[in-house]
Amino acid sequence: MATNRTFTMIKPDATAAGNIGAITKMIEEAGFRIVAMRLTHLSRERAGQFYEVHKERGFYADLCAYMSSGTIVPMILEKENAVADFRKLIGATNPEQAEAGTIRKMFAKSIEANAVHGSDSDENAAIEGAFFFAGIQQY
Ligand code: ADP
Ligand code: MG
């Protein structure tokens, strides 16, 4: 059975722009239940660990600098078909290609500063959730 959970974080561009509330509202209105949530920062080293799978990509160093530049809001979300439905709600990586009404279309600044993360599989959702919430009670 699918886990019915996914992992997201609101990224530094969106927290700096004051969009934590607006994005969280869209997530809840789309039927996701927030199971765990924090307001935190990543060091450059921790950002590097989180995005390790991208370490050979040209944008990796910039991405780690950006992701450690400000406040982030990691969350674990629950809903039927959570991973796929959440990817649909956030839209394409590049906001210029994101569909109207998606979170990235509405709030992202660029392909890098794209407002939110969304896990790409049940397996990664579990790994990424544990990265921020290991040992923390989830409701
Ligand atoms: P997604 O977040 O949509 O799953 P990826 O996993 O491919 O996208 O990339 C992880 C993150 O790296 C993106 O959300 C974005 O912040 C950044 N990124 C991806 N592609 C680029 C790019 N070509 N230039 C700069 N940053 C990028
Ligand atoms: Mg990805």
Domains of the chain, by residue range, sit at 5-41+71-132
Question: What is the predicted pLDDT for the residue at 3?
Answer: 56
Q: What pLDDT does residue 1 have? A: 45
Residue 63 beta carbon below 6 angstroms from any ligand 1 atom: yes
Q: Which two tokens stand for residue 11?
A: 């990224």
pTM: 0.96
Please tell me what DSSP assigns to residue 64: H
Query: Hey, whose CA ends up nearest to atom 5 of ligand 1?
Result: 93
**Residue ranges of the chain whose pLDDT lies below 50:** 1-2
Alpha helices in the chain (DSSP H): 12-16, 20-29, 44-50, 60-67, 82-90, 103-107, 122-133
Rounded to 10 degrees, what is the CA torsion of 100, 60, 36, 41?
A: -110
Other beta carbons within 10 angstroms of residue 75's beta carbon come to 23
The length of the chain in residues reads 139
Model pLDDT, residue 2: 47
Q: Report CA(17)–ligand 2 centroid distance (Å).
A: 22
CATH of domain 5-41+71-132: 3.30.70.141
